[in-house]
Amino acid sequence: MTPVEAARAALAADRTHADPAIWITRVPDEAVLERARTLEKEGPRGRALWGVPFAVKDNIDAAGLPTTAACPDFAYTPAESAPAVQRLLEAGAILIGKTNLDQFATGLVGTRSPYGVPRNVFDAKLVPGGSSSGSACAVAAGIVPFALGTDTAGSGRVPAALGNIVGLKPTVGSVSASGMVPACRSVDTISVFSHTVDEALSVQRVIAGYDPADPYSRLAPYAHLRRGAALPQARVAVGDIAALCEPEIGAALDTAAAALGARKTEIALFLEVARLLYEGPWVAERTSALRAFMQAHPGSLYPATRTILELGLERRAVDAFDAFHLLAQARRQAAALFADYDALLLPTSPFCPTLDDVAADPLGPNRRLGTFTNFANLCDLAGFAVPIGFCSNNLPIGGVLLGPAWSEGRLAPLADALHRRFVQTAGATGQALPAAAAPDALAPDETALFCIGAHMSGLPLNQQVTALGGRMLREAATLPEYRLYALGNRPGLVRAQGGGPIAGEVWALPTAAIGTLLAQVPAPLGFGTVALQDGPCLGFLAEQAGVQGAPDITGHGGWRAWLSASRS
């Protein structure tokens, strides 16, 4: 579509869906079209999101539009947009409006707003999920291709699950939080809703970046948003949590886990930390962000929001330190988990409450919705929420793939493949998903490395590669000019006459990290130029003297085949 066609389509979809509770402030139609006409006249100019309509959660500033955080008495009109919004506008995107939310982003149900409750796109009797309710519903209804939300306890993931869309929860600090009304300032992040993983990743590439004005902003250690290829041997853990879910959700998770070859792991400590977000010291952090307003305008708060914020005034410092020590244990467990696994699979939410459920118990259903999401930001994880099926009543089911901080690009192909295996339609539109994206090509600041042994995907030393920012490019094989030897827990590759083709994987690493990886490689191994069937590449080689007397395993064609044969 041209920008004008895209803008008209978004406005028409909004009229057709006819849910005013999605919006707190809608940009007037003529202003939307004028922006589109200007963009169309200018042409793309290399702008990544030229002419793409989008929406913004109304706790994120957009210049000239009120920021309410779903509290009319709190409202102000910013002169400048939040950096994330400004980056989108500079990339050519078209802002359609500011969306509804659980007041001050405190909630996961999507019902805590004086501006109404956005309609669940699959069943109006159900909650839409929150706190980014309006943004998720705008994408699920097909009004906009993407929208910004925020995520503290799962606000960028739970409503994605209930709308059959993708929710990208970035690494905390990777996107500037300047111009965002904080919930829990130390663990908040702006998030992205879209129809596919790759669309979310493309938006994230635009909005991510270090901001010295944001004290919680972090410099990325490498270009973490480059998409890798699907791993031939992905290692996925799955939480042993079926008893905590509704039966059909538990069954869908089991099916997804089987498709990924996932192994069950214990996550009790993570679930214990999850409870602290609404019951521990981070409730006080929410109160800290809004204490002055709460005390000056107690009658302006939505009842459930006020109840939660008042709880923060009762928290004790000694309990906070108990919680911090528990969180340190959980972060250590997460580090150990991701040393052995590429991703952790969980349900996005264990159930979906009705509006009547929440009216009868304003706090209980909300607490349960965050069972599998509350701990992720506290433990410094990144992840994608993706659709993984439907219940018998045609309601969507979501799953989350989590990884360590800065793992979004490596998680993307795994999350995208999981999504497409079980669901092929976007939101509630019935439209087919666009084709999957290809891995990003080798960048100028990267070096391709041919891995032949334990550094390959799914094997014990692969974490040394991924920890340095490595991403899978492709499977490959050498010319038939090499011999392979078994050197205990790793192979040695030597160029020799009478050899054969040896299978391996080509990984892209930041060039600056090649020396760091080489320093971890013991003799007689090192790096040299390896002749692959598709051209030369830096790769692992062994000194000729270092393989003397070692078993020659060339006939197996590669280290994986040798490992398989030696086990059988």
| d(C-alpha 230, C-alpha 412), whole Å | 9
The strand pairing partners of 264, in sequence order, are 238
Residue 57 among the catalytic residues:
yes
| d(C-alpha 159, C-alpha 348), whole Å | 9
Residue 155 among the catalytic residues:
yes
Contact residues for 443 (Cβ-Cβ < 8 A; gap 6+):
223, 226, 508
Contact residues for 541 (Cβ-Cβ < 8 A; gap 6+):
493, 494, 495, 525, 526, 527, 528, 530
Residue 30 CB-density burial (10 A; 0-12 exposed, 13-18 middle, 19+ buried): exposed
Angle at 145 between CA 373 and CA 131, to 5 degrees: 30
> Would you say 427 and 160 are in contact if contact means Cβ atoms under 8 Å apart?
no
Amino acid identity at 408: E
Six token digits for residue 245: 């879910």
* Burial profile 180-194: b = 16 or more Cβ within 10 angstroms, e = fewer: bbbbbbebbbbbbbb
Residue 217 among the catalytic residues:
no
525-532, strands of its sheet edge to edge: 471-477, 503-510, 446-451, 535-542, 525-532
Contact residues for 238 (Cβ-Cβ < 8 A; gap 6+):
253, 257, 260, 262, 263, 264, 265, 344, 345, 346
> What values do phi and psi take at 236, rounded to 5?
-125, 130
Q: Which one is catalytic: 131, 132, 135, 194? A: 131
| d(C-alpha 493, C-alpha 485), whole Å | 7
> Residue 410: how many CB atoms within 10 A of its CB?
26
Q: Which one is catalytic: 81, 135, 155, 202? A: 155
The one-character DSSP state at 500 is B
Six token digits for residue 489: 């827990």
The one-character DSSP state at 287 is H
| d(C-alpha 303, C-alpha 25), whole Å | 23
The position carrying tokens 């994120």 is 60
Q: Which one is catalytic: 57, 98, 194, 217? A: 57
| d(C-alpha 29, C-alpha 110), whole Å | 26
Catalytic residue ranges: 57, 131, 155
